[in-house]
């Protein structure tokens, strides 16, 4: 059995029901909107975010989910999908999960409006049901994701990212959404309990490990089919590169910064930068940091009694680290 199927097993019923509820939450009277949202739904990914919502809800409550849990999972997925559609416009990307992106098929203007529509659908789903505590969790996540993206753009211009700033960027850009999934799951069944903050922290740690793993893919992995050096070409400062820069002598530092600033489209030069980072401990350092976040996340589950939901969450944490793409 595939690892993702194994993780999903204790919540298979909930995930199936969620699919139906999620499709309903996207519906509109406008035919064009329905055509596009149908296209999006049929090209969904692994749905890790709703899985976090249901697994956490069932772990902290002893196996219970509520209607609020389904709404929380739908809101997260609506907002996440909205950000992906907008990201493809921002990045001028024509592909998403191996298929054409919305902006590639329907142009940027429609893609931006679709993103706005999904965002408002998500917010209204919470408001219409008085899930104001869940809405606050989501709204904070959306704000932080925007701030993280802008902070990264600002820093890419100067290439002056410290390790602390890098962690802040990935916390906001990536970890905050997984943190929201986990705290939403807890809040949907145990509102205003200590579980809500505890699970938020748990999700944040997984998100940090997840993003470092993504950054490591840039240094070579045939399985993902993604060419190496993309982050360098886009002048994104990731942990392996930051470590190599901070520990390089003046001459090497000058060469690295010059390479990223002025020669980031030169394939041969990008390869040399990748080799430099590998040879100067950048990858080992990033792997160790990633594993530290993983260990801390797993330790936060120790306070909960053993259950199939807890086991699935442990599998999920390990999957984030061990995945091949």
pLDDT tens track for 53-89:
999 999 999 888 999 999 999 999 888 888 888 777 7
Q: Judge residue 82's burial from the number of C-beta atoms within 10 Å of its C-beta, 0-12 exposed, 13-18 middle, 19 or more buried.
A: buried
Distance set, CA 148 to CA 104, 144, 155, 172, 176 (Å): 25, 6, 11, 5, 10
Mean pLDDT within 200-205: 97
User: How far apart are the C-alpha atoms of 57 and 11, rounded to whole Å?
Assistant: 10
Q: Is the pLDDT of residue 224 over 60?
A: no
Q: Is the pLDDT of residue 161 over 70?
A: yes
Choose the weakest-confidence range: 172-186, 197-211, 220-234: 220-234
Give the pLDDT score at 98: 62
For the ranges 135-149, 196-210, 262-276, the lowest mean pLDDT is seen at: 262-276
pLDDT of residue 226: 53
Residue 189 pLDDT > 60: yes
Other beta carbons within 10 Å of 157: 9
Q: What is the architecture, at CATH level 2, of domain 3-322?
A: Orthogonal Bundle (1.10)
Q: Domain extents for the chain?
A: 3-322
What confidence score (pLDDT) does residue 225 get? Answer: 47
Sign of the Cα pseudo-torsion (149, 235, 237, 261, in order): negative
For 5, residues 6+ apart whose C-beta sits below 8 A from its C-beta are none
Predicted confidence (pLDDT) at residue 306 exceeds the cutoff of 50: yes
Q: At 222, is the pLDDT very low, low, confident or very high (cuts 50, 70, 90)?
A: very low
pLDDT at 287: 94
Q: What is the Cα–Cα distance from 139 to 116, expressed in whole angstroms?
A: 14
Q: What is the mean pLDDT of residues 4-23?
A: 90
> Which of 7-16, 37-46, 81-90 is predicted most confidently?
7-16
Residues 281-305: b if buried by 16+ CB within 10 A, e if exposed:
ebbebbbebbeebbebbbebbeebe
What phi and psi values does residue 321 have, to the nearest 5 degrees?
-80, -40
pLDDT given at position 82: 84
Q: What is the mean pLDDT of residues 186-198?
A: 94
Q: State the pLDDT at residue 33.
A: 81
Residue-averaged pLDDT of the chain: 87
Average pLDDT over residues 30-39: 81
């Amino acid at each position: 059995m595939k690892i993702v199927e194994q993780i999903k097993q204790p919540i298979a019923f909930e995930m199936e029901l969620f699919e139906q509820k999620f499709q309903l939450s996207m519906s509109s009277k406008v035919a064009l909107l329905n055509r596009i949202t149908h296209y999006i739904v049929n090209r969904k990914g692994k749905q890790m975010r709703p899985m976090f919502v249901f697994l956490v809800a069932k772990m902290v409550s002893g196996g219970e989910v509520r209607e609020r849990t389904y709404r929380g999972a739908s809101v997260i997925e609506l907002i996440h999908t909205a950000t992906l559609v907008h990201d493809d416009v921002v990045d001028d990307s024509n592909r998403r999960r191996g298929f054409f992106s919305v902006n590639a098929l329907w142009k940027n203007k429609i893609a931006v409006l679709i993103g706005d529509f999904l965002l408002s659908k998500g917010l209204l789903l919470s408001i219409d049901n008085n899930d104001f505590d869940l809405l606050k969790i989501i709204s904070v996540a959306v704000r932080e994701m925007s701030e993280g993206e802008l902070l990264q753009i600002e820093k890419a211009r100067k290439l002056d990212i410290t390790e602390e700033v890098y962690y802040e960027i990935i916390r906001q850009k990536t970890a905050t959404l997984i943190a929201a999934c986990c705290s939403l799951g807890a809040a949907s069944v145990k509102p205003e309990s200590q579980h809500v903050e505890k699970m938020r922290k748990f999700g944040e740690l997984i998100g940090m490990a997840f993003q470092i793993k993504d950054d490591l893919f840039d240094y070579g992995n045939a399985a993902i089919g993604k060419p190496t050096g993309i982050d360098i070409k886009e002048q994104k400062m990731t942990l392996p590169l930051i470590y190599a820069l901070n520990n390089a002598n003046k001459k090497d530092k000058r060469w690295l910064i010059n390479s990223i600033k002025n020669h980031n489209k030169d394939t041969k030069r990008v390869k040399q930068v990748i080799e430099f980072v590998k040879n100067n401990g950048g990858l080992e350092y990033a792997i160790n940091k990633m594993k530290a976040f993983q260990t801390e996340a797993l330790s936060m589950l120790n306070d909960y009694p053993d259950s199939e939901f807890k086991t699935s969450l442990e599998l999920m944490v390990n999957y984030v680290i061990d995945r091949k793409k």
